[in-house]
Amino acid sequence: MEYNVRPISIRDGKIIIDGVEAGDSVSASGVFTPDTWSGKQLGDKSNSTRWLGYNITVALTRHRSNPWIKEVIKKYKDTGKTPEITIQGIMCDGDSDFFDKYGNDVCTFVGCVPTGAMPLTSLDSNGDVVTDSLTTKLTWCFCEISIL
């Protein structure tokens, strides 16, 4: 395309949880937040800042189509081991400028540990469909640009 700018559409993509495509995903985000220090030395007029570490948070919202959350909870109850989940997000808008230059934008989040409330049931006489929201924190992330 010569005259129009074509940013990535966030409607085109996939979420894969522990190797299974989550066809029921509504939205997902992975966020890198640096842990910073800011301060002054003697004689400095302004603060210096440096990174000391980081946190990565993954948030996932999905329409419930399987008992995945209950299976994670049951496994923890049976084994007593902290659940670690692998979540992969793939942005694959083939009609974007990004795709033309780099291909798919892929991030794989390894070692995701659920940190928020995990809904077990939802009932509402005025409701629509059950939507689960899950927040995780993790210690390792692998992001790549690749054509799948």
- CA 29 to CA 59: how far, in whole Å? 5
Q: 10 Å Cβ neighbour count for 106?
A: 20
Q: 10 Å Cβ neighbour count for 92?
A: 17
Model confidence pLDDT, tens digit, residues 99-111: 999 888 888 888 8
**pLDDT number for residue 77:** 95
Q: Report the predicted TM-score, pTM, of the whole model to 2 decimal places.
A: 0.76
Task: Quote the mean pLDDT of the chain.
Answer: 82
Arithmetic mean of pLDDT, 52-78: 86
